[in-house]
Amino acid sequence: MSINAQINTKNSNLNRKINNLHRISIILTFLLAVGCTSNNQVKRIEQADSIIKYQKNSIDPLRFSNLYPEKKNYPITCKENCYEPSPLVECNSPAENCRFIGKQTLAKINTGFTFRWLGHASFYIKSPDGSSLLLDPVSQQFDWPVNWAFKLSMGFERNLPEWPSDNEIKDVDAVLYSHIHYDHFNKDDIKDIGNKPQYFTPLGFGEHFPNDAYSINEMAWFSKKTLGELTINFVPAHHFSSRILVPYLYEDKDTTLWGGWVIEHEGQRIFFAGDTGYSDHFKEIQQRYGDMDVCLMPIASYFHKENGSWYRYVHTTPEDALMAAQELNCKVMIPWGYGNASWKMGDHSSHSALLRLLHMHETMNSQVPLHILNEGEEVSF
């Protein structure tokens, strides 16, 4: 048999396997849909000035689009000496197993909020009205079987973060999700947190929740809902979504929305960016809501040796995050995404992004104050 014939045979066999996986995916999705009658309370929230943007020629299923999907021109890019060691970061090995040890001065603001960074994108927040919030809570690894696939492909698992106590979890009033990727949305954590809190999500999330009387607020961009004395606003991010049932079949790509959150209390504004690339949406958020008091900003997962331009398109570099914080007029910025309990997805090391942030904050002469947390630490402003 010729080489071309062998290749054609292999391609035919591969296509047959993919088609079989495709059929299995459809059958499993159908069985899951007809086999469960949800008793969750799912409320879709839109207001007159809300925005929902779909991709062109997207009919079945409808797929969401970024607000500003065009090619990006980045204001500044670190090109040399980006990852120099810092005396403010103590590491057991180069940029690995590190701890921030620099002295910090609290920003002169009084929001009444307390922020505890749990690791990666997860935060536990106490608000001035006494309520408590969880942002993107993921306490373990990815949901199965993606955790298994990640370990096989990457060769390691995430170190487990320090988590709120059982009593703190029991008293959580609201859980906010930015998007449906596995490192931000974990079904095991939903089961552990339970159905007492209100859940705030982007559009399309309800079908991914366990069927156990959860109260879910699915929100469009620039929609809002009150929670006690708080106003919860869902705002755009520049990213994408997928929650694949069978690996490499992206039928669900962009069928759920993605975004960030602006939490307001008596004129104070907290911004959580979610996963996002740099885009004009930051300026639009500032124009709609005003200056931000505390900004929780991602600084990692922008690097990939084979696909770096796409990684940066949907993840901010540290300098992109500083530019965004400047456009939002943040009075203080708390970075996240790096750390000893991270997955290091697309990064050089566990703390390379933090080293680059400290370097670029000085290089850019940024006027946005930084407050650096180690995982498990908290700060009140």
Residues 269-316 have pLDDT tens digits of 999 999 999 999 999 999 999 999 999 999 999 987 766 789 999 999
Residue 345: its pLDDT value, please? 83
Q: Give backbone dihedrals phi and psi of 200, rounded to 5 degrees, phi first.
A: -115, 125
CATH of residue 108's domain is 3.60.15.10
- In three-state secondary structure terms, 287 is helix
DSSP H helices in 120-210: 146-154, 166-170, 187-193
Cα dist. 12→2, 9, 157, 249 in Å?
A: 15, 5, 35, 18
Residue 249: its pLDDT value, please? 55
* CA–CA separation, 359 and 355 (whole Å): 6
- Structural domain of residue 210, as residue ranges? 39-380
* CA–CA separation, 134 and 132 (whole Å): 7
Q: Give backbone dihedrals phi and psi of 279, rounded to 5 degrees, phi first.
A: -165, 165
Kindly report the number of other CB atoms within 10 A of residue 57's CB atom: 6
DSSP H helices in 196-236: none
Residue 58: its pLDDT value, please? 79
Are residues 139 and 265 located together in one domain of the fold? yes
**Pairing state of beta strands 230-235 and 223-227?**
antiparallel
Residue 245: its pLDDT value, please? 55
21 token code pair: 């996986």
Are residues 346 and 263 located together in one domain of the fold? yes
Are residues 194 and 271 located together in one domain of the fold? yes
Q: Which residues of the chain have pLDDT under 70?
A: 1-37, 245-250, 306-307
* CA–CA separation, 359 and 66 (whole Å): 30
How many domains, in total, are found in the chain? 2
**Which of these, 89, 82, 86, lies nearest to 303 by C-alpha position?**
82
Residue 299: its pLDDT value, please? 98
Are residues 28 and 46 located together in one domain of the fold? no
Are residues 47 and 190 located together in one domain of the fold? yes
Kindly report the number of other CB atoms within 10 A of residue 259's CB atom: 30
Are residues 217 and 294 located together in one domain of the fold? yes
Are residues 165 and 255 located together in one domain of the fold? yes
Are residues 147 and 287 located together in one domain of the fold? yes
Are residues 50 and 31 located together in one domain of the fold? no
- In three-state secondary structure terms, 89 is strand
Contact between residue 215 and residue 42 where contact means Cβ atoms under 8 Å apart = no
Residue 340: its pLDDT value, please? 96
In DSSP terms, 123 is beta-bridged to: 117, 135
* Amino acid occupying residue 269: R
Are residues 197 and 320 located together in one domain of the fold? yes
* CA–CA separation, 347 and 185 (whole Å): 21
Are residues 24 and 73 located together in one domain of the fold? no
Residue 272: its pLDDT value, please? 99
* CA–CA separation, 277 and 127 (whole Å): 28
Residue 25: its pLDDT value, please? 44
* CA–CA separation, 279 and 259 (whole Å): 13
Are residues 61 and 12 located together in one domain of the fold? no
Helix (H) or strand (E) holding 19: helix 3-35
